[in-house]
Amino acid sequence: MPLALYALAAGAFGIGVTEFVIMGLLLEVSRDLGVSLAAAGLLISGYALGVVVGAPVLTILTASWNRKQVLVGLMVIFIAGNAACALAPTYGLLMAARVLTALTHGTYFGVGSVLAGGLVGRDRQASAIAIMFTGLTLANILGVPAGTWLGQQFGWRATFWAVTAVGVAALAILVLLVPADRSKPAPSNWKSDLKAVSRAPVVLGFATTVLGFAGVFALFTYIAPLLTEIGGFADGAVSPILLVFGGGLVAGNLLGGRLADRRLKAAVIGSMAALAAVLVAMAVGMENRIAAVALTGLLGAAGFATVPPLQAFVLSKATGAGESLASSLNIAAFNLGNALGAWAGGIVISDGPGLAALPLAAAAFPALAIVVALAAMAFERRRAAAPDPIQSTAC
């Protein structure tokens, strides 16, 4: 694999750390800035909103740039945003800095996915995308625990300064290793791009992503109470078990890329089916401690095995015009799935059958995703089988 893929992964690592590390520092932020824990938690929601808004807007605005220029520009914004987080004297300014940083997220992964796929042959594109996303999985395993520890020891601002330094290093690696695009970028035509991504197969691809990842986060958002209240683990055991989850993320991400390179459509359906099966198994196996640890690791593997196939699936529906926009919007779809899953899981716990029923409720999302993915495939088959109207008229 080209070294440029690992440069993309370095940027993904920094973005992954800044997205998730705030979860471990909410207490420190709330105490230092004098806000409630709930208000501090909105810093996570604000970031997600920034991803959803930034993905289409920045992708359209930078459509006439070559892809290396886009990635370098995004990393500069990322560095500035994290430095602003570290310096923010008030909660409002910290929220604004978080949203600024989040604007880069969707476009980075979207444009980076297209660039990664273009660096290798068509039969290795999903694996190339998976390598870039490995930076995101390693951020969860290594970066977030390290950043949380740093913030607890030296203050939460130290963590954001450290992430700023990671951004500077990632920028240097991108400049050095990502090849320059000598071709002249095509003129920006956002109307054509929007038309391309509004086609039914592309929209159904987005819906598949939202539903699939909603299943992951409907359960993972509440993994700590599941492990302690259902599994019977002590609070101190949650962090080591989450390392098992992180190991599953890395393995599943790379496996999903390989499977998607071989048979993309089968990988999409198979990874969703595997995710649903793991969630169903968690409904009956969480009370056994050994099974609970194993299933937590399998959740990470099955959850992230869906990522390269889903990203490649959407790209396959939007080749040519709108490719970068579709890729970026699919990253936004992942984040919408996160928000939908967390909201739905909370409803199940507070207003539904309760925590023990959460795995089965979560399994409904990937099951629905399979139905939507099959609909997208059937739609394309019907369109491919339809006679060309021009040729029919000529006959």
Q: Domain with 135 in it: what CATH number?
A: 1.20.1250.20
| Radius of gyration, CA atoms only, the chain | 21
Distance of CA 189 to the CA centre of its chain: 27
At 388 the pLDDT is: 47
Same domain for 58 and 143: yes
Is 212:272 a contact under the CB 8 Å cutoff?
yes
Count of residues in the chain: 395
Determine the Cα–Cα distance for residues 121 and 376; give it in Å rounded to an integer. 25
Distance of CA 57 to the CA centre of its chain: 18
Determine, yes or no, domain membership for 288.
yes
- Domain-terminating residue out of 147, 179, 211: 179
99: enclosing H helix or E strand: helix 91-118
Determine, yes or no, domain membership for 359.
yes
Q: Which amino acid is at 201?
A: P
Determine the Cα–Cα distance for residues 263 and 254; give it in Å rounded to an integer. 15
At 55 the pLDDT is: 80
DSSP letters along 142-161, please?
A: IIHHHHHHHHHHH-HHHHHH
Same domain for 74 and 143: yes
Same domain for 95 and 72: yes
CA nearest neighbour of 119 among 69, 72, 67: 67
Determine the Cα–Cα distance for residues 295 and 220; give it in Å rounded to an integer. 12
Same domain for 71 and 39: yes
At 270 the pLDDT is: 93
Q: What angle do CA 56, 127, 264 make, to 5 degrees?
A: 80
CA nearest neighbour of 116 among 33, 135, 124: 124
**Angular region, 322: left φ>0, alpha ψ -120 to 50, beta rest:** left
Determine the Cα–Cα distance for residues 293 and 286; give it in Å rounded to an integer. 8
Determine the Cα–Cα distance for residues 174 and 154; give it in Å rounded to an integer. 30
Same domain for 193 and 295: yes
Q: What is the mean pLDDT of each run of 10 residues along the chain (395 residues)?
A: 82 86 79 82 80 82 82 92 94 93 86 79 77 82 81 90 92 85 56 74 86 87 82 80 84 86 89 94 90 92 88 74 74 82 83 87 94 86 60 44
Residue 121: count of CB within 10 angstroms of its CB: 9
Determine, yes or no, domain membership for 393.
no
SS (H, E, C) 362-386: HHHHHHHHHHHHHHHHHHHHHHHHC
Same domain for 251 and 199: yes
Determine the Cα–Cα distance for residues 324 and 63; give it in Å rounded to an integer. 8
**Residue numbers of the domain that contains 201:** 189-384
Determine, yes or no, domain membership for 392.
no
Is 323:116 a contact under the CB 8 Å cutoff?
no
Same domain for 230 and 146: no
What is the model's pTM?
0.75
- Domain-terminating residue out of 179, 214, 238: 179
Q: What angle do CA 38, 41, 43 make, to 5 degrees?
A: 130
End-to-end, the C-alpha distance of the chain in Å comes to 49
Same domain for 133 and 245: no
Determine, yes or no, domain membership for 225.
yes
Determine the Cα–Cα distance for residues 56 and 148; give it in Å rounded to an integer. 31
- Domain-terminating residue out of 146, 179, 212: 179
CA nearest neighbour of 52 among 100, 101, 106, 99: 106
CA nearest neighbour of 327 among 200, 191, 196: 196
Same domain for 121 and 195: no
At 391 the pLDDT is: 43
Determine, yes or no, domain membership for 237.
yes
At 100 the pLDDT is: 92
At 385 the pLDDT is: 66
Same domain for 365 and 278: yes
Same domain for 252 and 145: no
CA nearest neighbour of 309 among 269, 352, 279: 269
Tokens 């609070």: give the residue: 235
DSSP letters along 171-234, please?
A: HHHHHHHSPP--SPPPPP-HHHHHHHHTSHHHHHHHHHHHHHHHHHHHHHTTHHHIIIIIS---
Determine, yes or no, domain membership for 27.
yes
CA nearest neighbour of 321 among 210, 207, 181, 202: 202
Work out how many domains the chain is built from and give that number. 2
Same domain for 202 and 174: no
Q: Which amino acid is at 14?
A: G
